[in-house]
């Protein structure tokens, strides 16, 4: 399975497209079923922004939000999804490990 298929299938499982147009989810589903390359370039342009996401950063009690600017993508994105984190709460590896301390 390609990384795109893994990401889209994880995204669908997380209902990440629930606030998007129905076409977005159908393209993502197509990418899972047939592979990302099966999409037209127009369809790819619609769903490719979902292949990466800016880290939401983290905030410890009594501390400022760390304003993390990391972009999560590829394998790290799948890991965030597998941990069943809320789509809106995805964090990069360093924020995740910092939050767990
Ligand atoms: Zn981060």
What DSSP letter does each residue of 16-62 carry, written as one string?
TTTTS-HHHHHHHHHHHHH-GGGS-HHHHHHHGGGGEEE------TT
pLDDT given for residue 14 in this prediction = 85
Residue 71 Cα to ligand 1 midpoint, Å, equals: 8
Phi/psi of residue 73, nearest 5 degrees: -155, 170
Residue 42 Cα to ligand 1 midpoint, Å, equals: 30
Return left, alpha or beta for 30; rule: phi > 0 is left, psi -120 to 50 is alpha, else beta. alpha
Residue 94 Cα to ligand 1 midpoint, Å, equals: 6
With a cut of 90, say whether residue 79 has pLDDT above it.
no
pLDDT-derived band at 83 (thresholds 50, 70, 90) equals: confident
With a cut of 70, say whether residue 101 has pLDDT above it.
no
Residue 74 Cα to ligand 1 midpoint, Å, equals: 15
Q: Do 80 and 72 contact (CB within 8 A), yes or no?
A: yes
pLDDT (tens digit per residue) in 9-38 = 989 988 889 999 999 999 999 999 999 999
With a cut of 70, say whether residue 84 has pLDDT above it.
no
- Closest among 25, 33, 67 to 50, alpha carbons compared: 25
């Amino acid at each position: 399975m390609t990384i795109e298929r893994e990401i889209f299938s994880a995204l669908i499982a997380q209902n990440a497209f629930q606030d998007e147009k129905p076409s977005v989810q159908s393209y993502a589903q197509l990418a899972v079923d047939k592979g990302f390359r099966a999409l037209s370039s127009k369809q790819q342009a619609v769903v490719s922004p979902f292949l990466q996401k800016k880290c939401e950063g983290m905030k410890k009690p009594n501390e400022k939000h760390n304003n993390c600017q990391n972009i999560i993508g590829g394998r790290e994105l799948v890991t965030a999804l597998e941990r069943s984190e809320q789509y809106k709460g995805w964090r990069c590896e360093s924020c995740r490990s910092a939050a767990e301390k």
